[in-house]
Amino acid sequence: MAVLSFGQALKDALDVAMSKDDGVFIAGEGVGVSIHYNPNLPTHGLLEKYGPKRVKDTPVSEAAIAGLAVGASALGLRPVVEIMFFPFITLATDMLVNHAAKLRYLSGGKSSFPLTVRIKAGVNFAAGCQHSHNLEAWLAHSPGLKVVFPSTPADAKGLLLSATFDPNPVIVIEEMLLYWMKGEVPDGDYRIPIGEARIVIPGNDCTVVSYGGSVYTALEAAKALLDEGISAEVIDLRSLVPLDKVCLLDSVRRTGRLVVLHDAAKFGGFGAEISAIVAEEAFDALKAPIKRVAARDIPVPVSPPQEMFNKPSSEMVIAAVRSTVGKR
In tens, the pLDDT along 85-120 reads: 999 999 999 999 999 999 999 999 899 999 999 999
E strands in the chain: 2-5, 24-28, 55-57, 78-83, 115-121, 146-148, 169-175, 182-185, 198-201, 206-210, 232-236, 239-241, 258-265, 291-295
Confidence class for position 78, pLDDT limits 50, 70, 90: very high
> What whole-number percentage of the chain has pLDDT above 70?
99
- Is 133 part of the annotated catalytic residue set? no
> What whole-number percentage of the chain has pLDDT above 90?
87
Higher pLDDT, 299 or 242: 242
- For residues 83 and 119, is the Cβ–Cβ distance under 8 A? yes
Of these residues, 36, 99, 131, 262, which one is catalytic? Answer: 131
pLDDT > 90? residue 173 = yes
Residue 36 confidence (pLDDT): 61
Residue 128 confidence (pLDDT): 81
pLDDT > 70? residue 256 = yes
What is the phi/psi pair of residue 87, to 5°? -60, -25
Q: In this structure, what DSSP letter does residue 247 have? A: H
- For residues 95 and 67, is the Cβ–Cβ distance under 8 A? yes
Q: What is the mean pLDDT of residues 293-306?
A: 90
Residue 279 confidence (pLDDT): 98
pLDDT > 70? residue 34 = no
Residue 37 confidence (pLDDT): 73
- For residues 134 and 89, is the Cβ–Cβ distance under 8 A? no
User: Selecting from 1.20.90.10, 3.30.70.100, 3.40.109.10, 3.40.50.920, what CATH number does the domain 198-325 have?
Assistant: 3.40.50.920
Q: Where are the domains of the chain?
A: 2-185, 198-325
Residue 9 confidence (pLDDT): 98
Average pLDDT score, the chain: 95
- Rounded Cα gap, residues 269 and 136, in angstroms: 8
The verdict on whether omega for the bond into residue 186 sits within 30 degrees of 0, i.e. cis, is no
Indicate if 198-325 has the same CATH topology as 2-185. Answer: yes
**pTM assigned to the model:** 0.96
Residue count of the chain: 328
Residue 39 confidence (pLDDT): 86
- Give kind and range of the element (H or E) at residue 50: helix 46-50
Pairing of strands 146-148, 169-175: parallel
Closest CA to 150 of 306, 5, 23: 5
Query: CATH assignment of 2-185?
Result: 3.40.50.970
Of these residues, 29, 62, 175, 307, which one is catalytic? Answer: 62
- Is 131 part of the annotated catalytic residue set? yes
The verdict on whether omega for the bond into residue 79 sits within 30 degrees of 0, i.e. cis, is no
Residue 35 confidence (pLDDT): 62
pLDDT > 80? residue 151 = yes
Closest CA to 43 of 24, 63, 62, 68: 24
Helix/strand number for the chain, H first, E second: 12, 14
Closest CA to 250 of 274, 275, 218, 285: 285
